[in-house]
A = this chain, B = another copy of it.
Amino acid sequence: MSEVKRKGQAAKLASYSLVSISTEEKNEALALISEQLIIDQMSILTENQKDLEEGKGRGLSEAVLDRIMLNEKRIQDMAHAINLLIELKDPIGETIETIEKENGLFIKKSRVPIGVIGMIYEARPNVTIDAATLALKTGNAVVLRGSSSAKFSNMALVHSIHNALAKSKVPVDAVQLIEDTRRETAKELFQLNEYLDVLIPRGGKNLIETVVRESTVPVIETGAGNCHMYIDETADQSMAENIVLNAKLQRPSVCNAIEKIIIHEKWFEKHGKQLVEKLQENSVDIYGDETVTHEFKSISAASEEDWAIEYLGLTVAIKIVSTLYEAIQHINTYGTKHSEAIITSNEEHAAIFLNNVDAAAVYHNASTRFTDGFEFGYGAEIGISTQKLHARGPMGLHALTSSKFMIYGNGQVRS
């Protein structure tokens, strides 16, 4: 039996015992993991060093190396995040719905774990801890498959988790790491319907597209954000400037930062120059449609491709429209259904935009940067779903649960 099959099966078996483990027992296990990470920090850092050296040898960029890098502070942050997770309410066992039938049948819809969650992710060892602890909090087993560039770090972290679980009521098998990081093992996970209930990719566009295309296991698509800010005719000038600068600059490399600005022609006539100057003062590269490039010789023309791309950096493209509907249509054509915003003083326009734009999160007069499980108050985030089934938008603990109908009778039969 291959490593993937063997570990998938072990996780499945563990998931069956996890349904009988209490909230207290799960929290005890999490506390043990938090402590163990601190106890094991020297060995974790030693293993992390191997990844970093191998990465340097292979010429990985500074940005990627920074994502892989662990230090005492980062390990302490992980341990601290687990302590916060312990405080969160356990969603498992909640009654979602009850139905009493005339024949005396009592139907209860309860919240239960999903079962086994497959996580496939890129070179961020913190996802190993994140995914494992969020899964355990919600009574799920997890099969982790990280990147080869963080192989030694991931093995050390999972070793630490296993040490902790061995002292707890949670079976050690509940957390599995696929150590063989060749492409073949990812492909095997894509088809592991027998043991995986869901597969969640976390990483760049290519990873997510591959998983969606190749996986027969149900996938929760997370990630890509080609987010737009639409500045309507009646938008307050300073509010619009503030929000645009925040949504573009506060952290340009993340999925909820804006990539495009759509501006009503009348607002653009009055305030376009100042907005463009502010963006340029902040080193933002600007592409524009014909109206914009005609007005500003310093701005290059946006290509068709620009409207669809997620720059993830200090770049933005600006398009001028003559109606709200043109803005909505553009967003529904090129958006990735992540986060979209309108700035306007016209309440009716706001309502039309919020209703008609097809995205997980739609904003009136606020920055798209708020699309985040912690900002929404969920206390945890497994990712941001851009699909419409199961979970949409920031996914907290509830997104890692399923439901089950429990039906209590005293001999009822169907007639």
Chain A residues proximal to chain B, CB less than 8 Å: 16, 19-20, 99, 101, 105, 107, 109, 114-115, 193, 197-198, 212-213, 216, 218-221, 236, 239, 242-243, 246-247, 250, 332, 354-356, 358-367, 369-371, 375-377, 387-390, 392-394, 402-415
Q: Which of B361, B369, B371, B414 contacts A250 (CB 8 A)?
A: B414
7 interchain residue pairs of minimum CB distance: A366-B409, A246-B413, A369-B414, A388-B402, A390-B390, A389-B390, A361-B405
* A7, chain B: closest CB distance, angstroms: 18
Q: Which B residues touch A198, using CB under 8 A? A: 388-389
Q: Which B residues touch A356, using CB under 8 A? A: 16, 19-20
Q: Is the interface of A mostly helix, strand, loop or mixed?
A: mixed
Q: Provided the pairs A358-B115, A404-B360, A412-B367 are in contact, do residues A197 and B239 lie with their beta carbons within 8 angstroms?
A: no
* A262, chain B: closest CB distance, angstroms: 17
Q: Which B residues touch A20, using CB under 8 A? A: 355-356
Looking at A107, A360, A410, the one whose CB has the most chain B CB atoms below 10 A away is A107
Say whether B213 contacts A216, CB under 8 Å. Answer: yes
Say whether B220 contacts A376, CB under 8 Å. Answer: no
| 20 contacting pairs across A/B (C-beta < 8 A) | A16-B358, A20-B356, A105-B370, A107-B376, A109-B393, A114-B389, A115-B388, A197-B389, A213-B216, A218-B218, A218-B387, A218-B388, A242-B411, A246-B414, A360-B405, A361-B405, A364-B407, A371-B405, A375-B414, A388-B402
Say whether B218 contacts A363, CB under 8 Å. Answer: no
Say whether B19 contacts A355, CB under 8 Å. Answer: yes
Q: Provided the pairs A20-B356, A219-B218, A370-B105 are in contact, do residues A364 and B413 lie with their beta carbons within 8 angstroms?
A: no
Q: Provided the pairs A16-B332, A20-B355 are in contact, do residues A243 and B413 lie with their beta carbons within 8 angstroms?
A: yes
Say whether A413 contacts B369, CB under 8 Å. Answer: yes
